[in-house]
Structure 1
């Protein structure tokens, strides 16, 4: 169980996240939806301790993140929104680095690593550097690394970007299997079809404020005869050419 209580993050005068309250259960896939700048990545970066909140708290299995940071980090694996990291390493060296960081033995991860390498068609590329990879191959490398410790909480920020259709399908299946083991999967996405396929619950953010938290089915039930796309745009607003979000006339979800 992850409990986010009154979480806020400011960058100077900019309020990136405002008084967010959420409970994310073990064994579920939880999705964050929102336009660019809505607060999705800010929330995720707080969860994985990349940034510090301005106020509020995060608890994982009852432990406060600020007080038990290292213990909680060992429960979490993270796929960032860009895979352009450790580019000087080969794929194998990157996986070895994560194996060491999580204090795992090679024997502990050998079978899992080989299964994932085979699944993502990376067998011929393990000794090549990440710098030589396409965006999609780097993404696959990071995903494999994140699953080596079989984390209690798997957090992915826009994970489908750059993946080919087969790899995207395989990733979705892995997310479902991970949650089915009683573990937690948290991800952000712009893709409404992906959210509808995967999410047990979702949170929709707008300008750093939570405007919906619940299941996709409940959202559809509350808005008869409208598609998820129509409902989302009505709630989140229309993004104009300046990257800002304008309210749609008749919006009643503020």
Structure 2
């Protein structure tokens, strides 16, 4: 379980996250949705023990991220919006390095690597330098790296960026499987159709604050809209702006 209470994160005079609270239960996929610059990625980095809160309290399976960020990292699998990898290594070298740091037994590591590499179809890239790989392949390597230690909690920030349809479908099925295994999953995406399909509950963050939270159906009723995309645009005050842009394009084309 993830529990966030009155979370605030400031960068100098800029308030990136402004007193948000939410809970992610075991066996739940929680969608944290927000436009660029809303505080979404900052929040997810705090959940993963990468950033320290300015104030408030965040616990991940009972571990306080401020008091024991290393303990949080041990039990979480985190995929950032943009892959951050050792580009001078090959995927095989990276997986072995991560396995060593995580203390994964060699035979267990090899079994997991084999299954995940085959699932995401990157067998032919295992001997290539990561720096030479495409964005989509790097994203697959990042995902595999985050899953190798069988984490209790998954924090995935735009993890479907760059994935081909087959790999996106495989990741979606894996997330549903992980949920059934009792894991807590925080998942962000700009593709509302994906969020609508797999998220048990959704929190919409805008200008550093949670402006709405609930199941997709609850949010549709709250916003009086028929799709999650329209809910999102309405709650983030983007609906009129989008309509204006579309009308201007129609007039100019």
Unaligned residue ranges in structure 1 (runs of 5+): 242-254
Deviation per residue, 1:47-104 (Å, 9 max, x gap) = 1122211111111222322223222221111111111421111000111111112111
Task: Tell me, in whole angstroms, the C-alpha distance in 1 between the residues paired with 2:8 and 2:150.
Answer: 30
Which of structure 1's runs of 4+ aligned residues deviate more than 3 A?
Answer: 221-225
What do you get for the CA RMSD once the two structures are aligned? 1.6
Task: Tell me, in whole angstroms, the C-alpha distance in 2 between the residues paired with 1:87 and 1:11.
Answer: 29
Q: Are 1:13 and 2:13 matched, yes or no?
A: yes
TM-score calculated relative to the size of structure 1? 0.90
Match of 1:109 in 2: 109
Unaligned residue ranges in structure 2 (runs of 5+): 242-253
Task: Tell me, in whole angstroms, the C-alpha distance in 2 between the residues paired with 1:204 and 1:156.
Answer: 16
Residues matched between the structures, number:
241
Q: Are 1:129 and 2:121 matched, yes or no?
A: no
Query: Is the contact made by 1:35 and 1:239 (CA closer than 8 Å) also made in structure 2?
Result: no
Q: Residue 49 and residue 71 in structure 1: after superposition, are their counterparts in 2 closer, same or farther (change >3 A)?
A: closer
Which secondary structure does the structure 1 equivalent of 2:234 belong to?
helix
Greater percentage in helix: 2
Match of 1:151 in 2: 151
Q: Are 1:227 and 2:227 matched, yes or no?
A: yes
Superposed displacement of residue 220, structure 1: 2.1
Query: Is the contact made by 2:19 and 2:56 (CA closer than 8 Å) also made in structure 1?
Result: yes
Match of 2:40 in 1: 40
Task: Tell me, in whole angstroms, the C-alpha distance in 2 between the residues paired with 1:239 and 1:96.
Answer: 47
TM-score calculated relative to the size of structure 2? 0.91
Which secondary structure does the structure 1 equivalent of 2:161 belong to?
coil
Which secondary structure does the structure 2 equivalent of 1:36 belong to?
coil
Which secondary structure does the structure 2 equivalent of 1:107 belong to?
helix
Task: Tell me, in whole angstroms, the C-alpha distance in 2 between the residues paired with 1:75 and 1:43.
Answer: 17
Query: Is the contact made by 1:157 and 1:188 (CA closer than 8 Å) also made in structure 2?
Result: yes
